[in-house]
Structure 1
Amino acid sequence: MIDSLGMGGAERMLFNYLQHLDRNRYEPRVCVFRVRDGNPIAAEIERLGVPVDLLPASGIRDFTNVVSLVRYLRSHGIDLVHTQLETVTVHGGIAAKIVGLPTVHTLHTFAYPEATSKEIRRSEVAWFALRNFHDKIIAVSAAVGDYAVAKGRVPPERISVLYNGIDTSSFRRRNEADRAAVRKTFGIPADAALVVTVAVLRREKGIQFLIEAWPDILEAVPNAYYLIVGAGPFESQLKSLATTYKLTDRVLFAGARNDIPEILGGSDLFVLPTLDDVLPTVLAEAMASGLPIVASRVGGVPEMVEPGKNGLLVAPADQTQLAEACVRLLRTPDEALRLGQGGQDVAETRFNVRNQVRKLENIYQELLERTNSS
């Protein structure tokens, strides 16, 4: 069960996992509560042969939806419920308990409620549901698992850390053909040093700090270009900042793209100056492409980037550290190559979706056996 099937990270991850789930052991179907941006992921899931059912819910306080969910679970002979995102945490958990089914929930984010009584109550209701209606909580990073224990008072023995998985085989290793093609596509000189960020353009991604650091980077690496891939609500502010710093010829905005593997494969350095992130999947994708990483030391990022092994970590919102780290890797290609190769190893061993799905199936099996024996 999931709130919606727009283009968010949780929705994409659901598709990745369904793609590799063992159909000899499991017969999945997806229940979605609302439509967001047309629910484009629904069509992709259906192409896998997985049914997608819409059971509309107006909000977290619409408990009439629980009655519909109970009927749904019984009519389809469901054996186990896996919920993702907020509304289904509550409604799906209650309905599963009424029917007597084991329940798993994936916790994707740090749930920071806004300082309003309504948002605080919503957060408290969600934490209550996690504590009382779910048998297992999957945290996508150890950091978010610790947060669930500290903030949500979730029993630590009920939490399992399972990193998001990616299809590492779909990302291209850095190569000269992609290098030339990317530079031609965006009008970048063939010999340019190319730094890339792929992200939803929100203030929290911290891209503004790298733009502010770019004049210092250019002073040390005159042929450096910065390619920002993605769209979002902070895009106009970032473009204005690039104009203010007279960087419009060196800081380029690619918009939303569907050729991310090719862009990563043709770049020299990946930077994510995020201010807070649970486990940014894009870092695993960049690692799978053989790119060295510069990223902020926040949230679950240190669980992905190990200084000296696959990248460098910097303090968030620190233009000086960002500039120094980027310059260091752009001016020492041997170190950058070594860190990029280390990143490929990390992506394969820690974030390969096939390995992660097997671990998820083991969690399912453990809960099913426990339920059947009780």
Structure 2
Amino acid sequence: MMVGAGLSGRRVAQVILNMTYGGGERLVQELAVDLEDAGARSLVVCLDSIQANTAPLEARGIEITLVKRRQMALDAVALARLTVLLRKRGTQLVHAHDLASLAYAVPAGLVLGIPVLFTEHSRHYLDARLRRRLEKRLLCLGVRRLVEVSPELAGASVARDGVSPRRVAVIENGVDLTAFAGGGGELFRRECGLNEGQLLVGMVGRLEDIKGPQVLLEAFVRVAGNMPQARLVFVGDGSLRRELEAKAVARGLGGKVRFTGARPDIPQVMGGLDVLVLPSLSEGLPFALLEGMAAGRAVAASAVGRIPGIVQDGESGMLLPAGDAGALAGALAGLLADADLRQRLGRAARLVVAARYDRRHMLDAYREMYASVLSREGQGREATWK
């Protein structure tokens, strides 16, 4: 029997703040399209803005709707709009992808009598804020399942946030291996102005403090002085972009550092890098890590979140203390000086992702969960997502 066979004709809504280029937004796209493939009907609801990362949804004719909320604790008008929209579309299950969206999905689900799921992609917004943890604990009383993208996040939800372990499930992220198998990075390298013999270090992600782009820039300053062939590219956007651009110029790196903004052609980006860096201060299970490894790139990453459970230091990548620009500079210098090391780490990295983080496994686990929640008979069945 096909996984999630009970989904045909079902109507599922994904609720998220916006559709920028991020992990949560990526998962929303993947789930909405896969539900359509399973015969269900998908609806994507954004609370703040839709933005531009919607082409895969539009290509499938999936409805994307904005419920414009005002910046307040809870916008009753936006909640009413969401509730009416879900009722009109005949929604049978709501899946929220951030805590703010959950604050709207839970009361809407209660009013309509439909189940709510919540996938948590990271917890940096929780760890320093008791109020947020209490809010999450209360809201999770109204969800059928809290899905964590890593065992580490699941453990923290139970131990730190007080969520019942019976509500918590783990479904780790996965990527399309075939999309990252063909290289194809030469066009991106030319776009970045690389000449023969030059080496490209890259970060793919939001340019925000929690992602550590300032740490990478500082590390690259130390590397570039001794390695004139090194270049750096930031692929992504965020509130730090102008500050980082100004710092790069001020440190004499204006011709060696590029900022491309957010872009959809990530397989080509990964294929064009020599080294992928994830300098994050906090993480769940980043798609960018899996994508870089699937592309066979050498990875240097902070030892935070799920990353140490995926990257074996010195075998399938390099692990570094978060926020340590000196340690990162040393790792980059070693990787850029040793092509054989980069190739060895890249080959091992792709094998890790191929064995454990295939997108189909992730999507099948969500299909099974959706079908189980929507089925009265699903309560006692063993599931791959537990």
Q: What TM-score results when the alignment is normalised by the length of structure 1?
A: 0.85
Distance change in 2, residues 1:66/1:338 (3 Å): same
Residue from 282, 295, 314 that aligns with 2:301: 295
Kept in 2, the 8 Å contact 1:173–1:288? The answer is no
Using the alignment, how far apart are the partners of 2:28 and 2:43 within structure 1?
Answer: 11
Encode CA deviations 1:187-227: one digit per residue, 9 max, x unaligned. Answer: 32211122111222223322222332335434654422222
Distance change in 2, residues 1:300/1:52 (3 Å): same
Give the SS at the match of 1:82: strand
Matched, 1:263 2:276: no
Residue from 241, 244, 250 that aligns with 2:256: 250
Kept in 2, the 8 Å contact 1:174–1:291? The answer is no
Give the counterpart letter for 2:40 in structure 1: Y
Distance change in 2, residues 1:199/1:56 (3 Å): closer
Shift of 1:307: 1.6
Corresponding residue of 2:314: 308
Give the counterpart letter for 1:357 in structure 2: L
Residue from 137, 144, 166 that aligns with 1:127: 137
Give the counterpart letter for 2:43 in structure 1: R
Distance change in 2, residues 1:348/1:33 (3 Å): same
Count of residues in Structure 1 that have an aligned counterpart in Structure 2: 365
Corresponding residue of 1:165: 174
Encode CA deviations 1:118-177: one digit per residue, 9 max, x unaligned. Answer: x865653343111x10011111222322222233211123211112233332235446xx
Corresponding residue of 1:34: 47
Using the alignment, how far apart are the partners of 1:233 and 1:307 within structure 2?
Answer: 31
Shift of 1:364: 1.5
Give the SS at the match of 1:21: helix
Encode CA deviations 1:289-338: one digit per residue, 9 max, x unaligned. Answer: 11010011122322332223320100112122112211222223222212
Distance change in 2, residues 1:372/1:63 (3 Å): farther
Give the SS at the match of 1:194: strand
Unaligned regions of 5+ residues in structure 2, if any? Answer: 1-13, 381-386
1:212-227 to 2 correspondences below 5 Å: 212-218=218-224, 221-227=227-233
Encode CA deviations 1:322-373: one digit per residue, 9 max, x unaligned. Answer: 1221122222322221211122223333333222110111112222234777
1:174-185 to 2 correspondences below 5 Å: 174=183, 178-179=185-186, 181-185=187-191
Kept in 1, the 8 Å contact 2:203–2:278? The answer is yes
Using the alignment, how far apart are the partners of 1:77 and 1:239 within structure 2?
Answer: 47
Corresponding residue of 1:82: 95
Using the alignment, how far apart are the partners of 1:33 and 1:216 within structure 2?
Answer: 41
Distance change in 2, residues 1:269/1:81 (3 Å): same
Percent identity over the alignment is 29
Matched, 1:205 2:203: no
Give the SS at the match of 2:155: helix
Matched, 1:275 2:281: yes
Kept in 2, the 8 Å contact 1:206–1:273? The answer is yes
Kept in 1, the 8 Å contact 2:48–2:69? The answer is no
| Aligned-residue RMSD, C-alpha | 3.0
Corresponding residue of 2:358: 352
**241-250 vs 58-67, greater mean Cα deviation:** 58-67
